[in-house]
Homo-oligomer: A and B are copies of this chain.
Amino acid sequence: MLYMIGLGLGDARDITVKGLEIIRKCSRVYLESYTSILSVDQKILEDFYGCSLIIADRDLVESDADLILSNVENEDIAFLVVGDPFGATTHTDLVLRAQEKGAKVKVIHNASILSAIGCCGLQLYSFGETVSIPYWTETWQPDSFYDKIASNRERGLHTLCLLDIKVKEPTLESILSKKKVYMPPKYMSVAEASNQLSSILEKKRKDGNESLAFTEHSLVVGLARIGSEDQNIIACSLQEMKEIDLGKPLHSLIIPAEKLHPLETSFLRQYAIDKTKFDESVAQ
């Protein structure tokens, strides 16, 4: 049996009781480590779960899935995913392969950033399509997420922006060589994301686009380490967010709808770095 087990968002104790019981009876336990991370060390997880963890990076999951699924039709194997197991679509493939081998699959759900962001006070039912903001390179600077944010704003909806994670990415020089050399992991901050969004706005203005969906003065919400003891939420303008340091990863950014519900305003206000500016921005 393949168990897909969500770990939640904070630390070791965010696993469900059911999930923990299952881990402890599995013969192999994989920890998926490239779509998200917990802010605790592997050693702490292993001590709490009472088993060793096999780190599953992108290479292992996407190229060597057979290794993970070896004998899954007879053994109990756990695949741990930060958040909810289906937060990352890449894992539906693993489930299909296990089923093809005649194994049963059981999912243990847990908190996902997609719903946990409700803790900033913005109503979950008023979110539109979620977008991903990728790290730009010198030559690759996509901006299609702007259109999705714009489309959500037009309909009075908030947008959750998930920020890029680069873990175990081979260096450009080593991509073609046999021995891969990996770059240090990096996690996009709310400041980096805000800078990219601001660049897009500048470019659109230069191209003569006058009616932008939002501007540098628009209210945005930065969230860091949601679900952890040291989670951090900040509400300010996009311009200000470009300079904000929310500390360690993971970060997310929300572009709220232009109009907020009064209860959303009351709740979000506690996170405003400048209450007067916040009130002005909401009143507009």
Instruction: List A residues at the B interface (Cβ < 8 Å).
Output: 6, 8-18, 20-21, 83-87, 89, 92-93, 95-96, 99, 107-112, 114-116, 118-119, 121, 123-132, 151, 155, 157, 226-227, 263-264, 266-267, 270
Q: Please give me the 9 A-B residue pairs with the lowest Cβ-Cβ distance, nearest first.
A: A86-B118, A109-B111, A112-B115, A13-B18, A13-B17, A89-B123, A109-B116, A114-B115, A84-B115
Residue of B9, B20, B125, B267 near A130 (CB, 8 A) is B125
- Tell me whether B86 and A119 are in contact (CB under 8 A): yes
A105 shortest CB reach to chain B, Å = 10
- Tell me whether B21 and A16 are in contact (CB under 8 A): no
Instruction: Report copies per complex.
Output: 2
The closest CB in chain B to the CB of A95 belongs to: B267
CA separation between A112 and B8, bound complex, in Å? 11
Which B residues are in CB contact (< 8 Å) with A119?
Answer: 85-86, 107, 109
A34 shortest CB reach to chain B, Å = 17
CA separation between A245 and B114, bound complex, in Å? 30
- Tell me whether A129 and B118 are in contact (CB under 8 A): no
CA separation between A157 and B9, bound complex, in Å? 26
- Tell me whether B121 and A130 are in contact (CB under 8 A): no
The closest CB in chain B to the CB of A93 belongs to: B263
The closest CB in chain B to the CB of A105 belongs to: B119
Q: Could you tell me the dominant secondary structure of chain A's interface residues?
A: mixed
CA separation between A155 and B118, bound complex, in Å? 24
The closest CB in chain B to the CB of A121 belongs to: B92
- Tell me whether B96 and A267 are in contact (CB under 8 A): yes
Which B residues are in CB contact (< 8 Å) with A21?
Answer: 13
Which B residues are in CB contact (< 8 Å) with A107?
Answer: 119
Query: Which of A17, A109, A110, A128 gathers most chain B CB within 10 Å?
Result: A109
CA separation between A178 and B125, bound complex, in Å? 35
The closest CB in chain B to the CB of A268 belongs to: B92
- Tell me whether B14 and A14 are in contact (CB under 8 A): no
A45 shortest CB reach to chain B, Å = 12
- Tell me whether A14 and B109 are in contact (CB under 8 A): yes
Which B residues are in CB contact (< 8 Å) with A108?
Answer: 14
- Tell me whether B109 and A129 are in contact (CB under 8 A): no
- Tell me whether B96 and A266 are in contact (CB under 8 A): yes
Which B residues are in CB contact (< 8 Å) with A157?
Answer: 129
- Tell me whether B86 and A124 are in contact (CB under 8 A): yes
- Tell me whether B263 and A84 are in contact (CB under 8 A): no
Which B residues are in CB contact (< 8 Å) with A93?
Answer: 263
- Tell me whether B8 and A89 are in contact (CB under 8 A): no
Which B residues are in CB contact (< 8 Å) with A10?
Answer: 18, 109
Q: List 12 A-B contacts (CB under 8 A).
A: A14-B18, A14-B108, A15-B17, A87-B115, A93-B263, A95-B267, A109-B115, A109-B116, A125-B130, A126-B129, A128-B128, A128-B129
